[in-house]
Structure 1
Amino acid sequence: MAASTVTLRTSGTQLCCPEGESCLLDVLELHDVPVEYQCRSGYCGACRLKLVKGKVAYRQQPLAFINDGEILPCCCMPLMDIEIEI
């Protein structure tokens, strides 16, 4: 998986998501983007965000229910450049 760009829709900020990071939540925290979360395994769903553009892959199938167009950054990584509602 190659490096990708994560665009934060509200501010237009673009973050580099390097290859090898364990999850999108790590990337957001690295750039001081505040995200609510209570786990890192896809169970609680507190970190859910709206995926505006792009695709993500999950390291493991999330246990929390997510609607179409939502992602759990605690357990996914972008497959390409993405835009998220935050």
Structure 2
Amino acid sequence: MANSTINLHQSGSQLDYPVDSNNLLEALEQHQIAVEYQCRSGYCGTCRLVLLKGEVDYLTQPLALIQEGEILPCCCKPRGDIAIEI
């Protein structure tokens, strides 16, 4: 995967998506960005974030209900540059 940039809307920060990250939640943790989570596998929805721009690919289909524009970072990776509300 080519390097992707994660844009954090509230702070204006731009982070590189580490190529060794298994998912977006792990990438955020590697940058010391705290995200609440419970299951880390798409069941509970606790880590739900709003995707403002870009697209993600799900590694496993989330079982938690998500609305249009929401993502579960525990089970997805960015498909290029993204912007999230955090």
Both proteins in one fold, TM over 0.5:
yes
Report the aligned-residue RMSD: 0.8
Alignment of 1:65-84 (within 5 A): 65-84=65-84
Aligned partner letter, 1:10: Q
Runs of 4 or more, structure 1, over 6 Å off, are none
Alignment of 1:1-86 (within 5 A): 1-86=1-86
Supply the distance in 1 between the matched residues of 2:3 and 2:37 (Cα, whole angstroms): 24
Aligned partner letter, 2:47: C
Give the total of aligned pairs: 86
Q: Could you give the per-residue CA deviations for residues 20-48 of structure 1, whole angstroms, max 9, x where no partner exists?
A: 42100001001111100001110000000
Q: Could you give the per-residue CA deviations for residues 8-66 of structure 1, whole angstroms, max 9, x where no partner exists?
A: 00001011003342100001001111100001110000000000000000001001000
Q: Percent identity?
A: 62
Aligned partner letter, 1:19: V
Normalising to structure 2: TM-score of the pair? 0.96
Gaps of 5+ in 1: none
